Amino acid sequence: MHILVVNPNTSLEMTQTIREAAQAIAGDGVVVDAIYPDFGPESIEGVYDEVVSAYWTVDKVMSIADKYDGFILACFSAHPAIGALREALAQPVMGIMEASILHALPLGSKFSIVTTSPRWQPLLEEGVHVLGVGSRCASVRSSGMAVLDLEELPEAEVRNRLIAEAKRAVEEDGAEVICLGCAGMAGLEEGIHEETAVPVIDGVRSAVALVKSLIEAGAQTSKRNLYRPVDRRPANGLPSGIAKGYGN
């Protein structure tokens, strides 16, 4: 089994963190590769960044997609590359936000997301409703950090900021489960659980588990309606990976 984990920003350090978290849960017989696009923003902090990163992410994935049994998009959001790849590919494609929430739902009646900067709060609130689980979300809380702070600040400071917001989500908002709202938070869940006494979900680990189970079941993306294949037609001046989606 061969799974590709894609970090849609261009941070090598974050990609290494994501790779380690994914491989730790993959198990024997599962090969996990982790990549990032050749071009794009070093961190994703909003919609503009998402759209730019999606273009180069899709290009990179499509150029090597035949080698893999499943794909993980390691950005905690309703990232546009997820839907694009589900249209273009039959293999399962999973985003870490969706995976994290799917694992949180059976563990408590309400979950909260602890994310990075305040800019992500409205984006994730919208994403929760897109996934149809708005009534189960107690809150989206910001730790006040930029995405790259997760790699650049001392780990103890990062962990303490996340713990503080997770505690507020539990004590003030009624959260029973915490979802860590960035791929760069992978590996911090145990320490936060010890301080909050509620389940803490890392989306990277959740996505690996879900994609692995889908591959083992032989499941593929439905091509009815929403994720019907991209119509083959001429497309001019596109990178080779993007053009491949159009059959060129």
DSSP 64-124: HGGG-SEEEE-SSS--HHHHHHHHH-SS-EEEHHHHHHHHHGGG-S-EEEEESSTTHHHHH
Q: What does pLDDT average to over the chain? A: 94
Condensed to tens digits (0 to 9), the pLDDT of residues 24-54 reads 999 889 999 999 999 999 999 999 999 999 9
Instruction: Kindly provide the b/e burial profile for residues 170-187, where b requires at least 16 CB atoms within 10 angstroms of the residue's own CB.
Output: beeeebbbbbbbbbbbbb
Condensed to tens digits (0 to 9), the pLDDT of residues 160-184 reads 999 999 999 999 999 999 999 998 8
Cross-strand pairs, 3: 32, 70
Condensed to tens digits (0 to 9), the pLDDT of residues 84-111 reads 999 999 999 999 999 999 999 999 999 9
**Amino acid 68: pLDDT:** 98
**Amino acid 152: pLDDT:** 85
Residue 41 to residue 47: CA distance in whole angstroms: 12
Instruction: Please state the domain extents for the chain.
Output: 2-97+205-245, 100-202
pTM of the predicted model as reported, rounded to 2 decimal places: 0.92
CATH number (3.30.2000.10, 3.40.50.970, 3.40.50.300, 3.40.50.12500) of 100-202 reads 3.40.50.12500
What average pLDDT does this structure show over 6-18?
A: 94
> Who's near 171: CB < 8 A, 6+ residues apart?
none
55 φ/ψ angles, rounded to the nearest 5 degrees = -60, -50
Asked whether the domain spanning 100-202 has the same topology as the one spanning 2-97+205-245, the reply is yes
**Count of helix runs (H) and strand runs (E) in the chain:** 10, 8
What average pLDDT does this structure show over 209-233?
A: 95
- Identify the H or E element spanning 202: strand 200-202
Q: Given this structure, which CATH class describes domain 2-97+205-245? A: alpha beta
Residue 106 to residue 41: CA distance in whole angstroms: 35
